[in-house]
Amino acid sequence: MTDASSAPLDAVSFDDDGLVPAIVQDADTDQVLMMAYMTAETLQETLDTGRMVYWSRSRQERWVKGQTSGHTQAVEEVRLDCDGDTLLFKVRQTGGACHTGYRSCFYRRATEGTLQADGDRVFDPDAVYDDA
C-alpha cells in the first residue's frame, strides 16, 4: 500500500450522518468494483491496516470487507476528490466484490430499456455471506 496512513483525515468532508462515499477500483484493471460508505473511524482503520473497512448503513455497524467471506480488499492507493467529499480506493480484490457472486457490483448493463448481466460470477451466489 502507498503511504495512505499519512493522508490527512481532516481533509475529508463527511456528510451530516458522519459518512463519506468510497468508490473502490481494481488496482490493475481500473474496473470499478463497488461503492460503500465510511465513517472517520472506519477510514482510519482502513488507513492503519491496509484492509477495507466500511460502515453498513443497513446494519448500522462496522463492516470489514471479507471478514466472513474471505473476499478481501487490500488497499494499494487512496485518493480524495477535489471537494474531499468522495474517496477513491484502488485495491487488490480477492474473490468477488459483490454479494451476488460477481467480481463487481456494477455487473448490470442498461441497454435498450433492459438490464443485462455483463460479466461472470466468481463465487457461488447461493452461499450466504454478510459482506461478500
Average pLDDT over residues 5-11: 69
pLDDT at 3: 52
| For the chain, domain boundaries | 4-117
pLDDT, tens digit, for every residue of 45-101?
A: 999 999 999 999 999 999 999 998 889 999 999 999 999 999 999 999 999 999 888
Backbone angles phi, psi at 62, to 5 degrees: -60, 145
pLDDT, tens digit, for every residue of 106-124?
A: 999 998 888 888 877 777 7
Of 43, 56, 47, 45, nearest to 12 by C-alpha is: 43
* CA distances in angstroms from 48 to 1, 39, 53, 119, listed in the order given: 11, 14, 10, 33
DSSP for 61-79 reads: EEEETTTTT---EEEEEEE
Residue matched to cell numbers 480488499: 73
Q: Thinking of the domain 4-117, which architecture would CATH place it in?
A: Roll (3.10)
pLDDT at 87: 98
| pLDDT at residue 1 is higher than 70 | no
Does residue 22 or residue 67 have the better pLDDT?
Answer: 22
pLDDT at 123: 76
pLDDT at 126: 67
pTM, two decimals, is: 0.85
The span from the CA of 92 to the CA of 6, in Å, is 20
pLDDT, tens digit, for every residue of 27-38?
A: 999 999 999 999
pLDDT at 124: 74
